[in-house]
């Protein structure tokens, strides 16, 4: 009698521990800081991607539309993952998607766009990554939603279904 | 009735049971005393009575709120719903910055005023204690 | 290229596993001797893992950013040393290292256990292969170190500067040697149960593996502490942080096992207990890997985490637990206790007492570490368990523990009386007087602290006397207990006598306290290869007019962009002086912390001595007489 209860008890305990650990796993610890207060966008000079013309940030972010600034690079794997969401967003009339080509090789970047399609309305260079610092970006990819020269949302890492619907909600 | 060996066995089992239950009692008792609960500024506003125990408050350091008065650091922790003033005179971690997450450990003076004994920061700037993340997400 | 070779070597490694399992099962009943084919296959597997690991190292050295792991964790401007150590400084590489050590250990095990029964050896090999295959699948499925990036990036993302430290570079491999060593103990204990091979010979055979794992685990924990002290700039060496606790738990289990194996070797009792401990030790090591790698714990040391990986380790861990559990239930024949009686005053009783304390310490740490997880899942309350909990529950019990440590080894096996009582009592009186003198003028809990220090001094004096009294009778044991007493003494003194000043200062300001004056003289900037250094110059004057110049540093790294504080530490044999500074955002003030920490260096020295005593025991041919 005694010998049977004890193993059963142990199995039961271990199963509970397993269950608790399994549940605990669901909460991940990665935190993505969100900008709550609306910050002004930085001012910078750069070159346009295809024409290589000089361009200032004031010439990029004009008008009252929504702008979606996406920092990307052809070597960045998560950028490929989020590409389909950008293509989806590029169909929306009231959002202009701006690409910031981060520390990249021109030919690779061009091939990337040819192979996967180009969701961007405009692309500019950030060859040494200084503009990304101006934005306060953490890495590639990173996406900023801008209205009236104010950043109203920042998404660190690749876009996903959740952030896509959030962007759509904000730009209704 | 029982032989000496059986008696000895019973004695041992009894001894083990007593030590085990004592140990568990001791551990649970100290856990209760030494556990530090985590609250967000909003939760503090809703507290019905002032807590004397040590707690942790987590949130963001409000922009333009860091100042030094009489060698004491003071700043505001916000969860974008409620705010709380914090004074602190201790070691400031590397990643303590305005607009970044922070966890302060200490005692509540009143519902707007917190006296911190420790400020915690993480190695990774993108990392935040899950408590803060959850507290920020709840709103 | 090297990535490709590395990847295929991994695949071949799994293939060899299947062959090993097949041939060892075939070999199990048919011949008398262990098939040399099996040993060569194990060697082949080791070779594949070595090739795979070298492939990863090569990719890191050549900064081959087409490899995703290299891209994520390396940078061309990194010194070569950190490029190599970067190989195991990340999740994927560290798992590959686990695997390397696993295969290495089983190979060495097969070579070193020629005199053991064949079936026992094969069973050990089989259990070890289960673990190895588990890790292979884990590596290839969820954390392949050889993922390809295309197009190839020009530059890597860099290594966190906090991790660029010599102690931390060798810390993981050493710790893993300890962790993985326990896997051999686990497999061999299960095999011994299955083949009914628990004998005195088995005990002395497995003792070596217990010792080896114990030495490496101790060293590994020490290195982690050293890193925390010198690099983190928090001025402490142990924070009861979950990640640290997780390495301490297998250590407790392993230390207990070490003592039990000694009893088993001598008297063939406690067999079930030894088996349970062997299983527990490895389970705790795996549990540690799970808790650290899955990110389930809320710790200051963060690791990139991925729930999928966590889930895999969790399932694997529980498969192993249940497997060992059932093997234990089915095969284990409980010992026949009737012929052996315990006497109250004997060596085995004192070792049992030691076991109880160890198990108590283990459960305190275990509960303190995982209780927050449980509470959050059950009631979604968020809590943390801090140092007071551990200090309160562990420190008082060190008193009887250390007294038992002092007297226990003097007892004889089976039945004995305490010899030379006069010595023991007089030493106790001396320790008591000494600690009262030390504590007398301090503003702390007098009774508690003086008894605590008395116990530590007592152990110190008794073991010190043993060095001269019974020459070389059991040198490893005396050395181990002696160094433990120094460790506890220096930790206690470190806690009691250290003091600190934390203040905010502007340049040219002076902080004045009763016994100390800190003058913030100047600040200088310097641009280094991958960071900008801001160095403060402080003149510290104590009450005796002794002047010390401290130059703590702030480093602003550019790749990745992180600010770290470099402490300035002045060490001598009595005390450490420690200063860090940090900037306060938008203010002219700097946050300064100045600490005086006595006997810091003795904490390191005593732990090294502890490891040394383990080595002594390892090279000793016979135990007692």
Q: Which residues of A touch C66 (CB under 8 A)?
A: none
What is the model's pLDDT at position A29? 44
Which positions in chain A touch C321 (Cβ < 8 Å)?
A: 14
- Which residue range forms the structural domain that includes residue B31? 1-35
Assess whether B15 and B65 both reside in one domain: no
Tokens of C103: 């295969």
Contacts of residue C1, Cβ cutoff 8 Å, sequence gap at least 6: none
Count the domains in chain B: 2
C9 and C52 Cβ atoms separated by less than 8 Å: yes
pLDDT of residue C133: 94
- Kind and range of the H or E run holding C472: none
**What SS3 state is found at C237?**
coil
Provide residues of C within 8 Å CB-CB of chain A: 65, 68, 149-155, 157, 290, 294-296, 298, 302, 305, 307, 310-311, 314, 318, 321-322, 325, 329, 373-374, 376-378, 561
Q: Which of C186-200, C285-299, C332-346 is predicted with the least confidence, judged by mean pLDDT?
A: C332-346
Q: CA of A54, closest CA in chain B: separation in Å?
A: 33
Cβ of B80 within 8 Å of Cβ of A36? The answer is yes
- Coil vs helix vs strand at B32: helix
Q: Using the beta-carbon criterion (under 8 Å), do B129 and A29 form an inter-chain contact?
A: yes
The whole-number pLDDT of residue C31 equals 66
Residue B17 C-alpha, separation from nearest chain A C-alpha, in angstroms:
14
Compare B78 and C585 and report the one with higher pLDDT. Answer: B78
A21 and C290 within 8 Å at the Cβ level: the answer is yes
B102 and B134 in a single domain? The answer is yes
Query: How does pLDDT run across C562-580, given as a tens digit for each residue?
Result: 777 888 888 888 888 889 8
Do both B26 and B10 map to the same domain?
yes
pLDDT (tens digit per residue) in C255-281:
999 999 988 888 888 888 899 999 999
Chain B within 8 Å of C563 (Cβ-Cβ)?
Answer: yes
CATH fold of A39-170: Glutaredoxin (3.40.30)
Q: What is the pLDDT of residues C17-40, one digit of tens each?
A: 999 998 888 888 776 677 788 889
Predicted local confidence at residue A12, as pLDDT: 87
Residue ranges per structural domain of chain A: 39-170
CATH no. for residue B73? 2.40.50.140
Answer yes or no: do B43 and B87 share one domain: yes
Q: Which residue of C has its CA nearest to A108?
A: C151
What would the mean pLDDT of B98-121 be, rounded to a whole number? Answer: 81
pLDDT, mean over chain C = 85
Residues in chain B with CB shorter than 8 Å from the CB of A156 are: 126
Q: Which positions in chain B touch A36 (Cβ < 8 Å)?
A: 60, 80
C585: nearest CA partner in chain B: B97
Residue C32's Cβ-count burial label (10 Å; 0-12, 13-18, 19+) is exposed
pLDDT top residue among C615 and B47: C615
Over the stretch C338-352, which tens digit does the pLDDT of each residue have? Answer: 445 566 677 888 888
Q: Rounded to whole angstroms, how far apart are CA atoms C137 and C14? A: 8
> Which range scores top for mean pLDDT: C147-151, C247-251, C335-339?
C247-251
Indicate whether this model's pTM tops 0.90: no
Which pLDDT value is given to residue C339? Answer: 47
Say what the pLDDT of residue C258 is: 93
Q: Which of A6, A13, A26, A31 to mutate to test the interface with B (most CBs of B within 10 A)?
A: A31
Strands of C466-515, DSSP E: 499-505, 510-513
Q: Residue C151 has what pLDDT?
A: 67
Give B 3-22 residues with CB within 8 A of chain C: 5, 19
With cut-offs at 50, 70 and 90, classify the pLDDT of residue C304.
Answer: very low
Is B138 a residue whose pLDDT tops 80?
no
- For residue B72, what are its two tokens? 């004491």
**pLDDT of A3:** 62
Q: B105 and B79 in one domain?
A: yes
Is C298–B129 a contact, with Cβ atoms under 8 angstroms apart?
A: yes
Chain B neighbours (≥3 Cβ pairs under 8 A) are A, C
- A10 contact partners, CB below 8 Å, separation of at least 6: C325
Residue B40: phi, psi to the nearest 5?
A: -100, 160
State the average pLDDT over residues A29-43: 56
CB count in 10 Å sphere of residue C535: 17
Q: What is the pLDDT of residue C621?
A: 59
What confidence score (pLDDT) does residue B39 get? 79
A4 touches chain B (CB under 8 A): no
Q: Stretch C589-613: mean pLDDT, rounded?
A: 91
Question: Across the interface, do A33 and B128 touch by the CB < 8 Å criterion?
Answer: yes
Structure confidence at residue A136 (pLDDT): 67
Same structural domain, B26 and B90: no
């Amino acid at each position: 009698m005694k010998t049977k209860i004890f193993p059963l008890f142990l199995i039961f305990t271990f199963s509970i521990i397993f269950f608790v650990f399994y549940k605990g796993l669901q909460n991940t610890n990665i935190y993505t800081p969100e900008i709550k207060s609306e910050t002004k966008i930085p001012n910078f000079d750069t070159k346009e991607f295809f024409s290589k013309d000089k361009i200032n940030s004031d010439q990029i972010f004009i008008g009252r539309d929504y702008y979606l600034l996406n920092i990307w690079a052809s070597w960045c794997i998560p950028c490929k993952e989020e590409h389909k969401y950008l293509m989806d967003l590029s169909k929306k009339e009231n959002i202009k998607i701006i690409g910031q080509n981060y520390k990249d090789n021109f030919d690779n970047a061009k091939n990337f766009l040819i192979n996967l399609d180009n969701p961007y309305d405009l692309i500019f260079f950030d060859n040494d990554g200084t503009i990304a610092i101006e934005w306060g970006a953490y890495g590639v990819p990173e996406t900023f939603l801008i209205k009236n020269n104010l950043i109203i949302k920042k998404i660190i890492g690749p876009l996903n279904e959740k952030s896509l619907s959030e962007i759509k909600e904000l730009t209704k | 009735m029982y032989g000496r060996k059986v008696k000895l066995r019973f004695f041992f089992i009894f001894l083990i049971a007593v030590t085990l239950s004592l140990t568990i009692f001791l551990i649970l008792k100290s856990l209760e005393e030494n556990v530090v609960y985590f609250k967000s500024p909003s939760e503090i506003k809703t507290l019905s009575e002032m807590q004397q125990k040590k707690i942790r408050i987590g949130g963001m350091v409000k922009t333009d709120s860091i100042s030094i008065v009489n060698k004491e650091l003071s700043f505001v922790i916000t969860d974008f719903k409620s705010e709380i003033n914090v004074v602190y005179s201790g070691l400031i971690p590397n990643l303590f910055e305005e607009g970044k997450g922070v966890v302060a450990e200490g005692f509540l003076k009143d519902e707007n005023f917190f006296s911190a004994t420790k400020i915690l920061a993480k190695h990774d700037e993108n990392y935040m204690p899950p408590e803060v993340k959850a507290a920020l997400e709840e709103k | 290229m090297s990535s490709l070779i590395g990847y295929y070597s991994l695949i071949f490694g799994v293939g060899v596993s299947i062959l090993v399992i097949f041939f060892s099962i075939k070999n199990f009943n048919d011949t008398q001797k262990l098939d040399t084919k099996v040993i060569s296959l194990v060697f082949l597997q080791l070779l594949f893992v070595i090739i795979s690991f070298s492939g990863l190292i090569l990719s890191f050295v050549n900064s081959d950013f087409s490899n995703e792991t290299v891209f994520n964790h390396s940078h061309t401007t990194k010194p070569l040393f950190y490029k190599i150590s970067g190989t195991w400084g990340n999740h994927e590489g560290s798992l590959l290292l686990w695997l390397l050590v696993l295969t290495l250990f089983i190979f060495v095990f097969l070579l070193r256990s020629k005199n053991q029964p064949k079936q026992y050896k094969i069973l050990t090999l089989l259990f070890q292969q289960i673990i190895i295959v588990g890790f292979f699948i884990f590596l290839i499925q969820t954390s392949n170190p050889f993922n390809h990036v295309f197009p190839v990036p020009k530059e890597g993302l860099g290594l966190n500067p906090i991790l660029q430290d010599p102690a931390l570079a060798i810390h993981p491999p050493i710790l893993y040697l300890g962790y993985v060593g326990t896997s051999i103990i686990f497999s061999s204990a299960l095999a011994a149960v299955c083949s009914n091979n628990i004998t005195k010979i088995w005990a002395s055979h497995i003792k070596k593996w217990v010792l080896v794992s114990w030495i490496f685990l101790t060293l590994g924990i020490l290195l982690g502490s050293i890193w925390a002290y010198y690099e983190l700039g928090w001025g402490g060496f142990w924070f009861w942080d979950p990640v640290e606790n997780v390495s301490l738990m297998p250590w407790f289990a392993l230390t207990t096992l070490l003592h039990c194996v000694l009893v088993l070797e001598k008297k063939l009792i406690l067999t079930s207990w030894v088996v349970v401990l062997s299983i527990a030790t490895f389970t705790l090591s795996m549990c540690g890997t799970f808790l650290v790698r899955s990110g389930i714990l809320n710790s200051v040391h963060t690791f990139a985490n991925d729930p999928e990986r966590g889930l895999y380790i969790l399932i694997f861990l529980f498969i192993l637990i249940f497997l060992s559990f059932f093997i234990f239930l089915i095969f284990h024949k409980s010992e026949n206790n009737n012929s052996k009686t315990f006497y109250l005053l004997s060596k085995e009783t004192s070792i049992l007492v030691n076991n109880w304390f160890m198990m108590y310490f283990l459960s305190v740490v275990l509960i303190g570490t995982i209780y927050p997880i449980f509470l959050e899942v059950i009631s979604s309350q968020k809590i943390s368990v801090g140092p007071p909990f551990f200090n309160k529950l562990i420190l008082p019990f060190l008193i009887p523990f250390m007294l038992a440590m002092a007297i226990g080894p003097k007892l004889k096996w089976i039945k004995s009386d305490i010899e030379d009582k006069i010595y023991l009592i007089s030493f106790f009186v001396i320790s008591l007087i000494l600690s009262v003198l030390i504590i007398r003028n301090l503003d702390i809990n007098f009774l508690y602290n003086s008894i605590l220090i008395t116990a530590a001094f007592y152990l110190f004096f008794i073991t010190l006397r043993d060095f001269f009294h019974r020459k070389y009778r059991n040198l490893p044991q005396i050395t181990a207990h002696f160094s433990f007493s120094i460790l506890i003494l220096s930790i206690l003194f470190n806690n009691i006598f250290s003091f600190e000043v934390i203040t905010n200062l502007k340049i040219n300001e002076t902080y004045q306290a009763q016994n100390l004056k800190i003058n913030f003289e100047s600040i200088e900037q310097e641009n280094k290869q991958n960071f900008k250094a801001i160095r403060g110059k402080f003149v510290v004057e104590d009450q005796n007019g002794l002047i010390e110049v401290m130059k703590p540093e702030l480093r602003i790294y550019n790749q990745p962009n992180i600010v770290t504080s470099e402490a300035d530490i002045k060490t001598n044999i009595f005390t450490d002086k420690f200063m860090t500074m940090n900037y306060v955002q938008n203010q002219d003030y700097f946050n300064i912390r100045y600490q005086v920490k006595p006997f810091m260096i003795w904490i390191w020295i005593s732990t090294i001595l502890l490891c040394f005593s383990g080595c002594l025991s390892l090279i000793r041919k016979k135990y007692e007489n």
